[in-house]
Amino acid sequence: MSRTHYWSCSKFADWVRGTRKLKAGTSEQWDEWQDTAKGFNPVRYWLAEEGLDYISNVVYFIPDTLYDIKYYINNRWVTRTHCLSASPEDIKPGSWRDVGDRFLPCLFNELVDFVEIELAWWHVVWSNEDAKKFKAPWYSRGWFRWRVWRSPECGLANLDWQRQLRWKEDEVGPDHKELGNLTPQAEKAQEILDLYNWWTVTRPARPDPYETSGWTAHCEAMREKYGNGMSSWGKEDKKEKAQSAKAHKLLDKMEAAYEKEDEEYMIRLIKVRHGLWT
């Protein structure tokens, strides 16, 4: 069940409860608010937090049931949220990849989908102005959403908004040490942006180690001079063997550096995984 509005978070619920509900806050602030609200009047607190939810569940039973059926179909056959998958650009369908070689593209392809689909939806679902700005189609939000609309620009705009979030006085109080500082959500958004840019911009632009090291050029020169086949390599002279060793050493160094970088960024993605939500 997923709704855009919960009765326990309404102004009417504040009136029933007798206390105003927080818009946002730390876990400690929510615990403090809950103790204060219960202490003010436990019966009114229950009516606002539990009673209204029971009533709304009855009122929305049929819409919620239809919504659950629709999202089961979506999750099972459209977005397939039960599995990780790689983009055809990274792993061609029908080709073989060992398990260890699937982790990096599958994880980062999911990150790209998160930014370009999930965050794009988040950015327009609450704003008709942004929906018009990014030309969001009718199936991108609301009850008929099927999670297939993709907009890198809109997703990045959402990350840019999140990166600016700072603790406000009504969230932490006028004297709190965190007042004005970036929120954990903002810090995670920055990390998500860095990871997204690395996968989509920085990593694809890395120099080809075979070309940069000179290994490809050396191999082509040897084939042209001695022909194809392993037996031809034994004909290399001393200078050519030195060139081969130099190119191969640089090739190994570059591949090791790339492997280390891939691993570091994959670990960073794992560490920020709890920030991947909408």
pLDDT in tens, 249-258: 999 999 999 9
d(CA 236, CA 222): 8
State the chain's mean pLDDT as an integer: 92
Domain boundaries, given as residue ranges, for the chain: 209-250
pLDDT at 129 over 80: yes
CA distances (Å), origin 242, targets 11, 246, 264: 79, 6, 33
Name the pLDDT band for 232 (thresholds 50, 70, 90): low
Q: What is the pLDDT of residue 78?
A: 83
What pLDDT is stored for residue 140 in this prediction? 92
Q: Give the pLDDT of residue 106.
A: 97
Q: How far is CA 90 from the centre of its chain?
A: 18
pTM beyond 0.85, yes or no: no
How much is the pLDDT for 133?
Answer: 97
Q: What is the mean pLDDT of residues 263-269?
A: 98
For 41-86, the pLDDT digits (tens) are 999 999 999 999 999 999 999 988 988 888 798 888 888 888 898 9
User: What one-character-per-residue DSSP string does 117-131 give?
Assistant: IIIHHHHHHT-HHHH
Per-residue pLDDT, 173? 85
Task: Looking at mean pLDDT, say which of 60-69, 145-154, 262-271 comes out highest.
Answer: 262-271
Mean pLDDT check: name the lowest of 86-100, 155-169, 223-237. 223-237
Contact 65, 59 (CB under 8 A): no
State whether residue 38 is helix, strand or coil.
helix
1-51, pLDDT tens digit by residue?
556 678 998 999 999 999 999 877 778 888 999 999 999 999 999 999 999
pLDDT of 225 = 85
